[in-house]
Amino acid sequence: MEKRGSFGSKLGIVLATAGSAVGLGNVWRFSTEVGANGGAAFILIYIACVVFLGVPLIVAEFVIGRHTHKNTADAYKELAPHSPWVLQGYLGVLTAWIILCYYSVVSGWTLKYLVSSIANQVTTVEDSAAYFIHFTSNPWMPVLYMVLVMLLSHLIIIRGVQGGIEKFSKVMMPLLLLIIAVMVVCSFSMPGTEEGLRFLLLPDFSKINPNVFLSAMGQAFFSLSVGMGCLCTYASYFTDDSKLMKTAGSVALIDTMVAIMSGFIIFPAVFSVANVAPDAGPGLVFITLPNVFQMAFADVPIVGWLFAVFFYLLLLLAALTSMISIHEPVTAFLLERFGFTRRNATRIVTAACIVVGVLCSMSFGPLSDVHIIKDMSFFESFDFLSAKILMPIGGIIVALFAGWKLDRKMVYDEITNHGTLHSWTFPIFMFLIKWVAPLAIGLIFFNELGFFK
């Protein structure tokens, strides 16, 4: 068996782990949720959910992964042998694989839109909705772009932890943050952006209702990539002197900052165009924004072109940082459980995801009439199964396992590095992970299934 990898520096740990959390959800899903739930008030609730729900769950996964230094399946097997808790390890691996299969499809869309932006097609097309539908329903073009992004993530994963994941994260995460900063400045320079800034900065508490709270909790939970083995697997590569609580805080801070700054890119632009609504829904990124870039920069087309290129480059980088983190738990499981080399384990995962990814991609075209769960296509079924079922269940199990099953002293030793760090946050962590997190995720779970609608 190959020697197990590990991260080589504290900066690499933070950037790689933050990259696993930062993804399309920070731009695409966050903007959709903010637009649909009233802006600034939603953001305040979202930040509170990240602090009191997201960070404890990140720390819990860190404790499990760093203590065992094993892939997520073997970590639970070591900590709770011959018990039902072991199933959570396999659930995490399965969830990661399912997400990667359909996430690669959307990631392929970002690559297509980057290429089209460079070719000056996105901001000049007359009907962006028709353009998007024509592309996604094509029988082979979206498949090609899906395969290309899968191969990009494959080339990173195959190089290992330090030579692949850490090296990529050290380059791409700063680049991603730089692009965001530049685009925020550009967005602020648009005419009529004051209304967009008011939408993001001045909370209207009259718009808050129970569903807004549940949406904010759901966004915090999904954005941080908890419950699918990524953070647990990455933590297994941490050095023993890593500060888990500090790293979790840094990851949550970067993830939240990327999401909010993405809002500062999108909504000033949206509000600068009179006939575009902020709650345009999931089509905001691929259908609405091309129109926004075209209309907002009608007098200076070159600026609209640059804005589109950098925006879809940002989306692609965010997609790739998440894809490698979703790829790694499955690769690590095959490598360590079955003794494959990293090269062969990576090949198996990539090939399996491409095969199923083709079915998910064709769900918008030739296979649109094929239904798997009720009246849902391959893509919709995989999205529903992972986001609405497996991830919430996984999050609840992680919280219960860390809060109720694990030895309290072991958890304390991991968080405080055997008493060498300050421990004043430990009682707060235990209260949140034992009581608050399971209840909150349970509410999200039942809300997503439609119990409160």
Least confident range from 96-100, 307-311, 431-435: namely 307-311
Of the candidates 399, 5, 355, which has an alpha carbon nearest to the alpha carbon of residue 165?
5
The two tokens of residue 208 are 């808050």
CATH, range 10-448: 1.10.4160
Tens-place pLDDT, residues 367-402: 999 999 889 999 999 988 988 899 989 999 999 999
pLDDT exceeds 90 at position 299:
no
- The whole-number pLDDT of residue 114 equals 96
Per-residue pLDDT, 282: 58
The two structure tokens encoding residue 161: 């932890």
pLDDT in tens, 50-77: 999 999 999 999 999 999 999 999 999 9
The confidence score (pLDDT) of residue 266 equals 85
**Range picked from 189-193, 387-391, 406-410, 424-428 for highest mean pLDDT:** 406-410
Q: Cα(130)–Cα(121) distance, rounded to whole angstroms?
A: 13
25 pLDDT higher than 70:
yes
Q: Is the pLDDT reported for residue 276 higher than 80?
A: no
**What pLDDT is attached to residue 143?**
97
What pLDDT band is residue 295 in, cutting at 50, 70 and 90?
Answer: confident
| pLDDT tops 70 at residue 285 | yes
Model pLDDT, residue 160: 94
Do residues 433 and 402 lie in contact, with contact meaning Cβ atoms separated by under 8 Å? yes
| Angle, vertex CA 451, rays to CA 450 and CA 453, nearest 5 | 65
Percent of the chain beyond pLDDT 90? Answer: 65
pLDDT of residue 54: 94
pLDDT for 382 equals: 94
Q: How confident is the model at residue 280 (pLDDT cuts 50, 70, 90)?
A: low
What is the Cα–Cα distance from 102 to 83, expressed in whole angstroms?
Answer: 31
pLDDT at 277 over 80: no
Interatomic CA distance for residues 453 and 448, integer angstroms: 9
Residue extents of the structural domains in the chain: 10-448
Say yes or no to pLDDT of 30 above 80: yes
Residue 274 has pLDDT above 60, yes or no: no
Percent of the chain with pLDDT strictly greater than 70: 96
Mean pLDDT lowest among 39-48, 153-162, 206-215, 394-403: 206-215
pLDDT band at 278 (very low <50, low <70, confident <90, very high): low
**At 283, is the pLDDT very low, low, confident or very high (cuts 50, 70, 90)?**
low
> Does the pLDDT value for residue 27 go beyond 90?
no
pLDDT at 361: 96
Mean pLDDT for the chain overall: 90
| Confidence check: pLDDT of 128 > 90 | no
Mean pLDDT on 163-180? 93
Tell me what pLDDT residue 195 has.
84
Place 268 in a pLDDT band, splitting at 50, 70 and 90. Answer: confident
Which pTM value belongs to this model? Answer: 0.94
Whether residue 360 is predicted with pLDDT greater than 70 in this model: the reply is yes
Instruction: Report whether 153 contacts 324 (CB < 8 A).
Output: yes
